[in-house]
């Protein structure tokens, strides 16, 4: 079992949900997050008076699942990112799990 973590801008939510479904990953969680591309955005977000340059509305998905399902998910994400017309690819990582209950 491994932990897969996926981040994407909010406009790709339906795509990511579809990728999880096609990969047979039925149990997962998600959370709204703010995504930043560089350090200056983080500094602006921490100021007293927020400007227009705040973080991008993004999503984080995660699931504890089997390797085969993760491989399928990564293939779908790689194909999606290949045809992407924006500079906001879907990102994914895998973290090994040493112990679980």
- What is the pLDDT confidence band of residue 11, given thresholds at 50, 70 and 90? very high
At the topology level, CATH places domain 2-96 in Alpha-Beta Plaits (3.30.70)
Q: By C-alpha distance, which of 43, 40, 28 is closest to 73?
A: 28
As a whole number, the mean pLDDT across the chain is 86
Domain ranges of the chain: 2-96
Task: Note the Cα 66 to chain centre separation in Å.
Answer: 18
For the four alpha carbons of 64, 95, 74 and 16, in that order, the dihedral sign comes to positive
Of 14 and 99, the structure prediction assigns the larger pLDDT to 14
pTM for this entry: 0.80
């Amino acid at each position: 079992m491994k932990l897969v973590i996926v981040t994407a801008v909010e406009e790709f939510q339906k795509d990511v949900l579809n990728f999880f479904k096609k990969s047979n990953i039925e149990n997962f969680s998600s959370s709204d997050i703010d995504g930043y591309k560089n350090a200056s955005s983080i500094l602006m977000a921490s100021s007293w008076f927020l400007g227009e340059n705040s973080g991008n509305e993004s999503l984080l998905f995660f699931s504890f699942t089997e390797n085969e399902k993760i491989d399928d998910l990564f293939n779908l994400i790689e194909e999606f990112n290949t045809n992407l017309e924006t500079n906001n690819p879907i990102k994914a990582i895998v973290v090994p799990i040493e112990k679980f209950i």
